[in-house]
Amino acid sequence: MKKHTKVALVTGGNRGIGYELVRQLAMDGFKVILTSRNSETGHAAVQKLQESYLDVSFMIMDINNQTSIRQAAATVSEQYGRLDVLINNAGIYLDENKKLVNMDPSDLEKTITTNFFGAYHVIRSFMPLMEQQAYGRIINISSEYGAMSEMSSRGVGAYKLSKLILNGLTRLIAAESENDIKINAVDPGWVSSDMGGSSAPRTPEQAARSILWLATIGPEGPSGGFFKDRKQIEW
């Protein structure tokens, strides 16, 4: 790797939006680390990207396992010595559209564990690499469902709460960050993927393009924002 090549890491990068984020970052000249908890699908995704001569590598990381996250962070530090862009893309959607008080509590717990605590522990483990170089861009893949206004309508309560808390985390870390480290949340829209379903109107390619502008913003760029298609969303 060239000394000044920027390094990006994408969680849940083996499929859907995550895969496309990895591809587009690599096309833009980044050294990209694709992480997934599934070694087989992760390696297959990386092999496909490498066949297009893209600078992508695989690293196993389970965002529900703090030991796995810490090991991945240590490996990135040892092998690359830097991390410029971190995209928290991995997430789950378990809702069956039941009332929050009627759903299986384990579904709520699993959703918040993955969608909130997973992102929190990843940021906590990798942010020191950004602090070392006084530079970093963190992007949390959220949802418009995470806006406070969505809490007044029923349905998908576990997912909504997980993204609401993720948005709060984004603002808090932005307020606490120093130097040129910026963190923002993004709603990719309704995307055709395993999570979004085949009837969704937006492709992963379109979604990735609407997200990645935040990976290369300058020091004057936003931090602590919540965006969709480069437009600020009301919290």
Check residue 234 and give its pLDDT: 82
Span 42-59, average pLDDT: 98
For residues 43 and 69, the answer to whether their CB atoms sit within 8 Å is no
User: CA 92 to CA 20: how far, in whole Å?
Assistant: 18
Q: Name the 3-class secondary structure at 59.
A: strand
The band of 96, judged by pLDDT with boundaries at 50, 70 and 90, is confident
pLDDT tens digits along 171-206: 999 999 999 999 999 999 877 666 655 666 678 889
User: CA 23 to CA 35: how far, in whole Å?
Assistant: 13
159 is an active site residue: yes
Check residue 194 and give its pLDDT: 62
Q: Is the pLDDT of residue 3 over 60?
A: no
- Tell the burial category of 90 from Cβ atoms under 10 Å away from its Cβ (0-12, 13-18, 19+): buried
Mean pLDDT of the chain: 93
User: CA 32 to CA 51: how far, in whole Å?
Assistant: 15
Q: Distance of CA 141 to CAs 5, 125, 172, 208, Å?
A: 24, 18, 16, 10
Catalytic residue among 80, 120, 135, 159: 159
Q: Which of 16, 18, 50 shows the shortest CA–CA distance to 139?
A: 18
pLDDT tens digits along 148-167: 999 999 999 999 999 999 99
Helices (H), ranges, the chain = 16-27, 39-50, 66-79, 105-112, 119-133, 157-176, 204-211
Side chain identity at residue 105, one-letter code? P
Measured torsion, CA atoms of residues 79, 122, 15, 194, in degrees rounded to the nearest 10: 170
Q: Is the pLDDT of residue 59 over 80?
A: yes
